[in-house]
Amino acid sequence: MKKRGLGLVLSAVLAIGVLAGCGSKKNVELKTVRVGFFPNLTHSQALVGKNRGDYQKVLGDGVSIDWKQFNAGSSEIEAFLAGELDLGYIGPGPAINGFTKSKGDVVIIAGSTDAGAVLVSRKGTSIKSVKDLDGKKVAIPQFGNTQDLSLRYLMQEAGLKDKTKGGTVEIVQAENPDIKTLIEKGEIDAALVPEPWGARLETESGANLVLDYNQIWREGKYPTAVVIARKEFLQDHPDVVEKFLKTHVELTDYINANQSEAGNIANKEIEALTKKPISKDILDTSFKRITVTNSPENEATKEMIDLSLNAGFIKEKPSDTGLFDLTILNKVLKEKGKEEIK
């Protein structure tokens, strides 16, 4: 009887183990992919692909896409850290912060756009160069984002410092629509903003162009948006990620070959999301300042780690080992006869 009782106990334990294994994440059928993005032209692949249904089409009827809209990289990263997102379009600065805070669980899997930001000054100011920002108030969309890091790099090169570090330039953060209001009211002197806000400030607010997209940093060869993923999701669902990135690459080709048409589609999606379409002249100017790409510009992104460290947005320099996982992207590029990204 004792042996029989022991056998029953062992059988029960084994059964529980099998059931627990069946309930693990890897064995649960994926029903939804949660994707973060901004209603911003620098997230062009997301906007065009969402509007046309490209991503949903490739995933089929069994898996739905839950598009989650954000207006700041920090809030998107918080969603990733909380396990609420699987994939996302985001700036490289927040992507680095996500990689650091998650201890390597948030990784960059592709590039999206390069450049796409300009430095403008308020109408009536005498600001002609970065050195002229001395004693001025300059706005950026968010502390620690790509535009903020770019501004601090420009200031460093010009021998200027942020007021909080004993310098003379006051850097303020405000959402892009608020920056427009601030510059029109004369409450800021300049702004470094992504498109279409640079073109909007020029056209609608009379702002002066101080530095064009290819004068900000590295002649425009720096990332404004990248694609990130949770490493766990990447490991559990490589087939889904491959389908997603294949569509991303195809959209990159489509947008570059059909810029005007793609711009109109992206604009339709922006209107659907924000109820405010972009005027044709602003749209055309904005697209000329953006490079749509698959490359995350590895070296430039790594340099942003030093910029984030110098600015105090990260406390210690993390190892960049594991920041990029381009395995699936390179597989897709190779299959399409394209050059792989090292």
CA distance 268 to 109: 27
Which residue ranges in the chain fall short of pLDDT 50?
Answer: 1-3, 6-25, 27
pLDDT given for residue 34 in this prediction = 98
pTM given for the model: 0.85
pLDDT given for residue 23 in this prediction = 41
CA distance 292 to 225: 9
Contact 76, 90 (CB under 8 A): yes
Q: Where are the beta strands (DSSP E) in the chain?
A: 32-37, 64-69, 87-90, 106-115, 117-121, 137-140, 170-173, 190-194, 208-211, 223-230, 290-292
CA distance 280 to 268: 12
pLDDT given for residue 28 in this prediction = 60
Contact 55, 87 (CB under 8 A): no
Per residue in 170-206, pLDDT tens?
999 999 899 999 999 999 999 999 888 999 999 999 9
CA distance 161 to 32: 46
Write down all domains in the chain, each with its CATH number in brackets.
Answer: 30-115+223-335 (3.40.190.10), 117-212 (3.40.190.10)
Q: How many CB atoms lie within 10 A of CB 149?
A: 28
Q: Is 182 helix (H, G, I), strand (E, B) or coil?
A: helix
pLDDT given for residue 11 in this prediction = 46
pLDDT given for residue 25 in this prediction = 46
As given in the structure block, the two tokens for residue 38 are 């901004």
Size of the chain, expressed as the number of residues it contains: 342
pLDDT given for residue 313 in this prediction = 81
Contact 205, 124 (CB under 8 A): no
